[in-house]
Amino acid sequence: MAVIKELIRKEDDGTLSFGNYEFDTKQKLSDFEFEGDLYKVKTFKEITKLERNGLFVYESVPGTVVTGLKVTDEEIVFSVEGLEDASITLELEPETEYKVYVDGTNIGKMKTNLGGKLVLSIEINPGQTYQIRVVTL
């Protein structure tokens, strides 16, 4: 998977892709319109962060590339790539239980905190892409 040179883009399949872990300094792009919402992305080697309408959606430490991000009421699905293991935080529904899959393998149930944050750690091999699927129970 290649980094996203334009920082964020709409894909032909109606999903979003964003992030670029190759930058040494923080890059950002605001007011990217997608399906009636405005997105803001900040990305570089240390962090990748996505906001929708000023609200938190995704964050990884260190920075990653996310492709095929699709969010519905039932699930959030995306692929992720990075240079090293990453901690990924997603904003979901508060105090809700989810089933989490990495490359089709169920890694267990996780519950969001009062603020709706779900944090998962991904062991990353450089050059490999991992599909993440988080499903509402």
pLDDT, residue 1, reads: 57
Task: Kindly state the tokens that stand for 120.
Answer: 């998962």
Name the pLDDT band for 38 (thresholds 50, 70, 90): very high
Domain residue spans in the chain? 8-136
| Strand ranges across the sheet with 16-18 | 8-10, 16-18, 65-71, 75-81, 130-136, 97-102, 105-111
Q: pLDDT per residue over 49-70, tens digit each?
A: 999 999 999 999 999 999 999 9
Q: pLDDT per residue over 14-37, tens digit each?
A: 999 999 999 999 999 999 999 999
Q: What is the mean pLDDT of residues 81-108?
A: 97
Model pTM score: 0.95
Residue 75 has pLDDT above 90, yes or no: yes
Q: Which fold has domain 8-136?
A: Chondroitinase Ac; Chain A, domain 3 (2.60.220)
All residues at 6 or more sequence positions from 5 whose CB lies less than 8 Å from its CB, including other chains: 20
Task: Kindly state the tokens that stand for 123.
Answer: 């062991």
**Nearest alpha-carbon partner for 64 in 115, 136, 120, 134:** 120
